[in-house]
Amino acid sequence: MSGDLVRDPVVAGEFYELRKEKLLEQIRWAFLHPIGPGKEAIFSNSITKNNFGYIAPHAGYIYSGPVAAHTYYNISLEKKPDTFIIIGPNHTGLGAQVSLAPWKQWRTPLGLINVDIELRDYLITKSKVLVPDYNAHLYEHSIEVQLPFLQYIFQKDFQILPIVLMRQTPKVVEKIAEELLDATEHLGRDFTIIASSDMSHYEPYDVAKRKDLKAFEMIKKRDINLFYNYLETENVSMCGPGGVMILMTISKMKNGREPEILKYATSGDLTGDKDAVVGYLSAKFPI
């Protein structure tokens, strides 16, 4: 299967290991790393779900994998949702401003993943902002790097809805949040959102940490205009604020509890080079 049916990986062998066994070892390493949760994620088959969304970083696994592992360890403890809605930024500048991936399946070295076709098609029909677009997703890594972690936990037994945003403003975010809630409620979908984002880019360690932790204080308030203005005025080079603002908006609309940090670290904590680091955050949005 290929072409318009399956989206093949584009950063396997670059952001994460290309070979299946090596990739499984790399994910296991991330879970057991001192910056990671220190435990492997194993599908718990839980019947309870306490969070409707998470933030997870999307850099190369050798840099952000242990931080991302905190999100996926927590996901592994909860009831598996009907659909994982994964929202990332558009790094490439290709394609539509706000887009759904049209493929029916996504492939990684760990196998094929099904897209929630019914939810995708409902949104394509009803949405005022989301459009199907291959180009926006074709070379974008922010969705792809999340998938092997989900496969490690659930193997093939899950489905996704991939969305990437080039336009990440409060006005657009609010509309997407409303449309996602309408669609999931109409179709009776239990969902978990994964907002794929790295934090400050190429700042000195102390500067990145100060800016990023202050940004999380804004996230906790769930005021997207306050948060967006902070990023703009303080020049915080966070690449995926749109997905995070969607989570903030849905949390507020559903009267969720205050978001909580699972782990914050930087590339410098992994490599020892703290002159110019990238910040990584895992966080949860409780029901």
**pLDDT single digits (tens) 74-128:** 999 999 999 999 999 999 999 999 999 999 999 999 999 999 999 999 999 999 9
Q: Examine the pLDDT at 2 and tell me if it is beyond 70.
A: no
DSSP bridge pairs for 286: 51
User: Residue 139: pLDDT above 80?
Assistant: yes
What average pLDDT score do residues 13-34 get? 98
DSSP 111: E
Cα end-to-end distance, the chain, whole Å: 38
Nearest to 95, CA basis, from 137, 130, 142? 137
- Cβ-proximal residues to 120 (8 Å cutoff; 6+ apart), any chain: 100, 102, 132, 161
Give backbone dihedrals phi and psi of 115, rounded to 5 degrees, phi first. -90, 145
Q: Within 13 Å and on the Cβ side, how many CA atoms surround 249? A: 23
The whole-angstrom separation of Cα 41 and Cα 202 is 30
Read off the pLDDT band of 4 (50, 70, 90). confident
Q: What angle do CA 254, 259, 157 make, to 5 degrees?
A: 75
Tell which residue, 111, 198, 199, 196, has the closest CA to residue 162.
196
Task: Give pLDDT tens digits for 178-236.
Answer: 999 999 999 999 999 999 999 999 999 999 999 999 999 999 999 999 999 999 999 99
CATH numbers and ranges of domains, the chain: 4-284 (3.40.830.10)
Token duo for residue 217? 């204080």
Q: 54 to each of 37, 57, 106, how far by Cα in Å?
A: 15, 10, 21
Give the global pTM. 0.97
Instruction: Match 């931080």 to its residue by tokens.
Output: 67
Q: pLDDT for 223-279, tens place per residue?
A: 999 999 999 999 999 999 999 999 999 999 999 999 999 999 999 999 999 999 999
Residues in CB range of 266: below 8 A, 6 or more apart: 205, 208, 209, 274, 277, 278, 279, 280
Confidence of residue 3 (pLDDT cuts 50, 70, 90): low
Average pLDDT, stretch 51-70? 98
Here the tokens at position 218 are: 């804004």
